[in-house]
Amino acid sequence: MSDTLNALWSRGTEFLGTRYAIMGGAMSWVSERNLVSALSNAGAFGVIANGSMPPELLEKEIIETKKLTGKPFGVNLIIMHPQLNELIEVCKRNNVTHVVLAGGIPSSNTVKAIKDYGAKVMGFAPSAIIGRKLVRNGVDALVIEGMEAGGHIGPVTTSVLAQEVLPQITDVPVFIAGGIGRGEAMVSYLELGASGVQLGTRFVCASESIAHANFKNLFIKSQARDAVPSVQLDPDFPVIPVRAIGNKATEAFARMQREVIEQVARGELDKKEAQLKIEHFWAGALRKAVIDGDIENGSVMAGQSVGMVSKIEPVQAIIDELIAQGEACLHKRKAA
């Protein structure tokens, strides 16, 4: 790897403790021990997706991941999880070095509970304002993820977020995510001031990924325009959009969302319970697609970079290709 690329992401590699400042996006049912360990062993940084896992399952996943890699990896926790404190205790007990908090703005107490046992905390910032708030709350690094990403998304593109956040927040490392599928894009964000990048969709079809063959084959066949965001039915009932390849599950979610809104209106559910119910829908629908291979009735979450996924190959080959593309880009600019 060239001195130039080493220098560009040195802050990120130091923070993660890795050779490359490339994080694996935390994808429920996909980002488990096999893919996570493969990413870390390849010099990147794997992240276990806790999703709706109870504490005992997370503990097992961490232990099994450690059997497969001695390299650094992290755990992604959803802050609305009803057992968040117990999950943090699991991370503490198993000496997880990096915890990524997603799904909202974590309290300073949550951040402190993680930092007190010696781990580093990362948070998702959909804007510079929230990014600064997270830093004030003690978060050690940020991930800014644009709407091109798969799964839960915000309303702003990656390129706009990068231009807004990177010049304003320089006191902590910032990792860029959403729509990154090639090394040239990776380098461009590093040159803008990012400390590293996060990719999820690009690794779904890795040989080490346990995703069902049907799931992987649909990724390979799909184009960027096939990955579409879910629709919000009621502005008074904000639902975080989810980007996935359109199918029957997309229609089922619209029906389920309508039912939940009616339950809230009747006083049968409060908004927090409703939000958890929606999260459980996605967890169940995603498992149906990823594990069972039901790509019609399950949720095929994918970012718009899905059009750059063309084959099943080892994680190491994907990483090597990204590095080669980034190096070629830097060499071309230097020669110009």
Per residue in 137-189, pLDDT (tens digit) is 999 999 999 999 999 898 999 999 999 999 999 999 999 999 999 999 999 99
Q: Is residue 336 part of a domain?
A: no
Q: Is residue 61 part of a domain?
A: yes
Q: Is residue 296 part of a domain?
A: yes
Distance, in Å, from the CA atom of 161 to the CA atom of 144, rounded to the nearest integer, reads 7
On whether both 254 and 140 belong to a single domain, the answer is no
Q: Is residue 334 part of a domain?
A: no
Query: Tens digits of per-residue pLDDT, 287-320?
Result: 999 999 999 999 999 999 999 999 999 999 999 9
**DSSP conformation class of 168:** T
SS3 of 117, please? coil
On whether both 57 and 14 belong to a single domain, the answer is yes
Distance, in Å, from the CA atom of 11 to the CA atom of 98, rounded to the nearest integer, reads 15
On whether both 13 and 104 belong to a single domain, the answer is yes
Strand partners, 102: 78
Domains held by the chain: number: 2
- pTM of structure: 0.93
Query: Tens digits of per-residue pLDDT, 78-136?
Result: 998 999 999 999 999 999 999 999 998 999 999 999 999 999 999 999 999 999 999 99
Q: Is residue 335 part of a domain?
A: no
Strand partners, 244: 228, 301
Task: Name every residue whose Cβ is closer than 8 Å to that of residue 67 and which is 6 or more positions away in sequence.
Answer: none
Concatenating the DSSP letter of every residue in 224-235 gives GGGEEEPPPS-T
**DSSP conformation class of 203:** G
Q: Is residue 229 part of a domain?
A: yes
| Domain of residue 128, residue span | 3-210+310-328
On whether both 84 and 224 belong to a single domain, the answer is no
CATH classification of the domain holding 159: 3.20.20.70
Distance, in Å, from the CA atom of 49 to the CA atom of 33, rounded to the nearest integer, reads 10
On whether both 24 and 129 belong to a single domain, the answer is yes
pLDDT band at 237 (very low <50, low <70, confident <90, very high): low
Task: Name every residue whose Cβ is closer than 8 Å to that of residue 165 and which is 6 or more positions away in sequence.
Answer: 125, 127, 128, 131, 142, 144, 174
Which residue spans within 125-263 are E strands per DSSP? 141-145, 151-152, 174-177, 196-199, 227-229, 242-245
On whether both 193 and 234 belong to a single domain, the answer is no
On whether both 129 and 234 belong to a single domain, the answer is no
pLDDT band at 241 (very low <50, low <70, confident <90, very high): confident
On whether both 320 and 253 belong to a single domain, the answer is no
On whether both 107 and 67 belong to a single domain, the answer is yes
SS3 of 301, please? strand
On whether both 168 and 283 belong to a single domain, the answer is no
Helices 315-335 & 33-41 angle (0-180, nearest 10): 40
Residue 195 has pLDDT above 80, yes or no: yes
On whether both 76 and 146 belong to a single domain, the answer is yes
Q: Can you give the pLDDT at residue 262?
A: 87
On whether both 153 and 203 belong to a single domain, the answer is yes
Distance, in Å, from the CA atom of 26 to the CA atom of 32, rounded to the nearest integer, reads 9
| Rg of the chain on CA atoms, in Å | 19
How much is the average pLDDT of 54-72?
A: 98
**Rounded (10°) CA dihedral 41, 44, 49, 50:** 70
CB-based contact 196:141 (threshold 8 Å): no
Q: Is residue 298 part of a domain?
A: yes
Q: Is residue 121 part of a domain?
A: yes
